[in-house]
Amino acid sequence: MGRYEYPVKVSVTLNLHRVASIDCGTNSTRLMIAQQTEDNQYEVLNRRQEVTRLGEGVDASRRLSTEAIDRVLATLLSFKEEIEFAGVKQIRSIATSAVRDAANGNIFLEAAQGILGNKVELLSGQQEAELSFLGATHGMEGEAPYLVFDLGGGSTEFAYGSSACEQFYSANIGCVRITEKFIHTDPPLPEELSAALSLVELHLTDVEKKIPRLNEANTLIGLAGTVTATAMIEQGLQAYSYDAIHHYPMTHKDMEEVFRIIVTDERESRLANPGMEEDRVDVIVGGLCVLLQIMRQFHFAECLVSERDILDGLVIKQLN
């Protein structure tokens, strides 16, 4: 069972439009089922996340492993059952960084399509950034313009804009990629952390060049598992709470403290932290290296945590 799983609510208003979105990411495979409301918004009926590590080893081998593909396909089978139970007829499914980087990505796409019965789209970095921006800023009350970053397993998408994404960049830094490349000791050695942060710094320099207006952003919005886990640890949350995490203003100072605790602990001690889960403990250090360097290099004092992301963007696109 994924942390974000909600029971499907079988509505008595059966004529309202129901859609599903699926994200086959580098670290996690995720599902969202939503129903259009009478005021043309949407209600989330079910949201699930399973850590499947599709991108395991891809950075080194440039191939998706058979084991990783099988893990994702098994998850998609269970998602398909939930989609059918909810009476959903319209699905939009996507794959991202790991499949983009893999020479055998087409094998996975064809197998996933066979299970779901519809095409699994391979998104570009630009499409990822635009959909993440749409989902994260939908109904946002924070002050525009926004800088949204979606810290994934293989890449981090940056998107800047007010009412829509105006500038974007996809950087090949993520929690899985950085962990596999640099973090080989438990706890990590100072030189491993230094090398990881230095590579992230180089990639963020490219972000600054591609999004020259990023320092004009009034609100920094962070998405995905590393950001959520950091917010849970900082608040001492033993169990996931959407209300406690969504739009939680996490300060740079708080992130530095979480980073200091996590990177000096061995695996079992890291796992003992409130909010830390078995399926994220092995990649959290790599993710924190990306998160902390974003805060340090872009000089933001605060990051607004968002639980609305690319899945929401896909739903919004289907309902409009």
What is the pLDDT tens value at each position of the chain, 320 positions in all?
Answer: 344 444 333 333 445 789 999 999 988 999 999 999 988 889 999 999 998 999 888 888 999 999 999 999 999 999 999 999 999 989 999 999 899 989 999 999 999 999 999 999 999 988 999 999 999 999 887 799 999 999 998 899 999 999 999 999 999 999 999 999 999 999 999 999 999 999 999 999 999 999 999 999 999 999 999 999 999 999 999 888 999 999 999 999 999 999 999 999 999 999 999 888 888 999 999 999 999 999 999 999 999 999 999 999 999 999 98
18-123 and 126-305 share one CATH topology? yes
Please confirm whether the linkage preceding 145 is cis (ω < 30° from 0). yes
Q: How far is CA 209 from the centre of its chain?
A: 23
Residue type, 152: G
Cβ pair 123, 52 in contact under 8 A = no
3-state secondary structure 116-151: HCCCEEECCHHHHHHHHHHHHHCCCCCCCCEEEEEE
E strands within the chain?
18-24, 28-36, 42-51, 90-95, 120-122, 146-151, 156-161, 165-171, 219-223, 249-251, 302-305
The SS3 of residue 6 is: coil
Cα–Cα distance, 305 to 221 (Å, whole number): 6
Cβ partners under 8 Å of residue 171, min gap 6: 155, 156, 157, 158, 203, 204, 206, 207
Is 126-305 a domain of CATH 3.30.420.150? yes
For residue 217, what are the CA distances in angstroms to 213, 220, 221? 7, 7, 10
Domain range 18-123, CATH architecture:
2-Layer Sandwich (3.30)
Strand order in the sheet with 146-151: 165-171, 156-161, 146-151, 219-223, 302-305, 249-251
Closest to 267 (Cα-Cα) out of 213, 186, 199, 158:
186
Closest to 158 (Cα-Cα) out of 209, 110, 107:
209
Cα–Cα distance, 87 to 245 (Å, whole number): 30
For the chain, which residues make up each domain, given as ranges?
A: 18-123, 126-305
Helix axes 225-235, 284-298, angle to 10 degrees: 90
